[in-house]
């Protein structure tokens, strides 16, 4: 790390220009501050162009106004300075990320003594806001994470994850949920959903109004969902192969056995899509093609462009993980704690996911509003160390899964090009976890399906773009022009795509129906004679806390 940083430098001309610009703008800002409120300082009370300083107190108080504007000037200058640095690309990116974190943390809005809005509220409430803020802080310290919503208002199985169904199978890794039909007839081919194991499945079943699971059931599909177990010490030895063989492959075979269907439709979300595609590739190597179709939602198959997350991954970091919680550790395993992953993802958007709550929860003593998505986001999961280390090395670090025959999983050489089935690929345009152009690269990775891949782009981010029910009439999505051969680049595709208002779900539903077979009578009971119901959905596994 020291060697890479020592190779960075700022060209003297760029440094000189930045210094000159900074002194000029700082002088102008000081002059406006000196004339604050006078006839010569008419522009001093203009709104500050940053929502952190939107409250009237920031404009009405000269010291606060000056502090906020000087902070913004310093932030812009530091970011320009980081952009001007020359050297190797990854150290430059890490430097920019570090500057972003420091700039976000240094805002005067984040500290009671320099936040006039919080100070005014403390005076107006006679200190009650500070008392409430301290209570929120103590509660968050006790629960081990910062509250992003009022978690007391939600309970899994009561007002989130409420679609009616049953657990029809369980092993040490997952429970298989089958949902009760909402239609008299269902498609002959069932649908299996594989959610990410780094979060809990109920992002797909938050509430009836925004549940993708309930939507699929209402569209006439017999739906099964994998509910991953929250890893504990008994799972610390589990590997990527376990998640493929004992997880996704076993779930696929169970759905076939329970329903009697020769082939099934499949869906994977985020890393669940990576697991699903890997499992189907392993089965293809074994001469088995159990999937009639595959849907990939904000999924990496090709990890060439992983966006900001690439900053955290290099050989030293991967090796450190392998030596501490991976197969090379003294205990041959360990756990990656869920809060560590949650903290990493929050750092990608520090103002929105960290400091916003510091100010609201602690300085102002406000209880964050109820929001089901943020409740799910706080319900973190642990991962087995060996599984995580394999995934880290072979995807983010070495990108082996997309190289035919390079990655060996469950004794088989993975080759996504052997998957010959229709595929629906969805990406979110503002996704900071799976950049949409990276999702588009899945089309090239799935070259063996003879052009039967449909790519759809949704507005918004990694989660909000996916969980966008039609009834909400929000956002939009883009669909390609229907040519058999997809353009080589994501940007070329977008230039020819057509934007449509509202949710992408109906487009996916129509595509899925074409692969789901004829309508048959809906089953009267869940499971089968060999796999009777164990307990009602959502089951025990999803309720386990990290």
Average pLDDT over residues 503-518: 98
pLDDT tens digit string along 388-424?
Answer: 999 999 999 999 999 999 999 999 999 999 999 999 9
Residue 236 above 50 pLDDT?
A: yes
User: Encoding tokens for residue 329?
Assistant: 């550790």
Mean pLDDT of the chain: 93
Element of type H or E holding 177 = strand 174-179
pLDDT at position 338 is 87
User: How sure is the predictor about 43, in pLDDT bands with cuts at 50, 70 and 90?
Assistant: very low
Greatest distance between any 2 Cα atoms in the chain:
85
> 184: which DSSP letter?
S
DSSP E strand boundaries for 371-411: 383-384, 408-409
pLDDT at position 38 is 55
Residue 445 above 80 pLDDT?
A: yes
Tell me the DSSP string of 309-338.
GGGG--HHHHHHHHHHTSTTSTTS--EE-H
Q: Per residue in 78-100, is it b (16+ CB within 10 Å) or e — as a string?
A: beebbebbeeeeebbebbbbebb
Residue 41 above 50 pLDDT?
A: no
> 501: which DSSP letter?
E
pTM over the 0.85 mark: yes
Q: Answer yes or no: 389 catalytic.
A: no
pLDDT at position 47 is 81
pLDDT at position 42 is 47
Residue 490 above 80 pLDDT?
A: yes
Average pLDDT over residues 464-471: 96
pLDDT at position 3 is 60
Helix, strand and coil percent figures for the chain, each rounded to 5: 50, 15, 40
User: How sure is the predictor about 51, in pLDDT bands with cuts at 50, 70 and 90?
Assistant: very high
pLDDT tens digit string along 160-204?
Answer: 999 999 999 999 999 999 999 999 999 999 999 999 999 999 999
């Amino acid at each position: 790390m020291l060697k890479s940083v020592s190779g960075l430098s700022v060209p003297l001309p760029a440094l000189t220009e930045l210094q000159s610009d900074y002194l000029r703008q700082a002088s102008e800002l000081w002059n406006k501050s000196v004339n604050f409120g006078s006839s010569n300082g008419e522009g001093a009370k203009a709104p500050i162009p940053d929502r952190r300083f939107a409250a009237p107190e920031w404009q009405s108080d000269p010291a606060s106004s000056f502090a906020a504007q000087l902070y913004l000037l310093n932030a812009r200058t530091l970011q320009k300075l980081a952009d001007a640095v020359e050297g190797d690309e990854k150290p430059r990116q890490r430097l920019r990320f570090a500057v972003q974190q420091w700039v976000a943390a240094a805002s005067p809005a984040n500290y009671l003594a320099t936040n006039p809005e919080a100070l005014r509220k403390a005076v107006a409430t006679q200190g009650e806001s500070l008392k409430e803020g301290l209570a929120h802080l103590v509660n968050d310290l006790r629960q081990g994470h910062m509250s992003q919503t009022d978690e007391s208002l939600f309970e899994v199985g009561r007002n989130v994850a409420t679609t009616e169904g049953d657990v029809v199978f369980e092993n040490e890794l997952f429970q298989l949920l089958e949902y009760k039909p909402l239609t008299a007839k269902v498609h002959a081919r069932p649908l299996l959903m594989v959610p990410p194991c780094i979060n809990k499945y109920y992002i797909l079943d938050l509430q009836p109004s925004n549940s993708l699971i309930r939507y699929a059931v209402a569209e006439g599909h017999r739906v099964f969902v994998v509910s991953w177990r929250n890893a504990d010490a008994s799972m610390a030895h589990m590997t990527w192969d376990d998640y493929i063989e004992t997880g996704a492959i076993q779930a696929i075979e169970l759905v076939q056995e329970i329903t009697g269907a020769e082939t099934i439709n499949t869906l994977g979300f985020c890393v669940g899509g990576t697991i699903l595609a890997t499992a189907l590739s392993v089965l293809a190597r074994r001469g088995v093609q159990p999937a009639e179709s595959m849907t990939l939602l904000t999924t990496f198959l090709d990890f060439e462009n992983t966006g900001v997350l690439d900053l955290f991954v290099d050989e030293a970091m991967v090796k450190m993980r392998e030596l501490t919680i991976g197969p090379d550790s003294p205990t041959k395993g360990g756990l990656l704690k869920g809060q560590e992953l949650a903290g990493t993802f929050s750092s990608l958007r520090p103002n929105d996911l960290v400091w916003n709550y510091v100010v609201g929860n602690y300085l102002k003593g406000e209880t964050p509003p109820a929001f089901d998505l943020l409740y799910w986001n706080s319900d973190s999961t642990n991962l087995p160390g060996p599984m995580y280390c394999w995934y880290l090395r072979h995807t983010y670090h070495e990108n082996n899964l997309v190289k035919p025959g390079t990655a060996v999983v469950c004794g088989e050489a993975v080759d996504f090009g052997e998957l010959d089935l229709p595929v629906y690929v969805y990406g979110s345009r503002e996704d900071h976890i799976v950049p949409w152009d990276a999702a588009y690269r899945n089309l090239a990775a799935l070259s063996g399906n003879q052009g039967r891949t449909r790519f759809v782009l949704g507005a918004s981010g990694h989660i909000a773009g996916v969980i966008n029910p039609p009834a909400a009439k929000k956002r939009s999505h883009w669909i390609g022009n229907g040519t058999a051969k997809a353009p080589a680049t994501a940007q070329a595709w977008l230039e020819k795509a057509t934007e449509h208002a509202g949710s992408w779900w109906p487009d996916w539903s129509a595509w899925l129906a074409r692969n789901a077979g004829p309508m048959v009578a809906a089953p009267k009971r869940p499971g089968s004679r060999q796999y009777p119901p164990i307990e009602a959905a959502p089951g025990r596994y999803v309720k386990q806390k990290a």
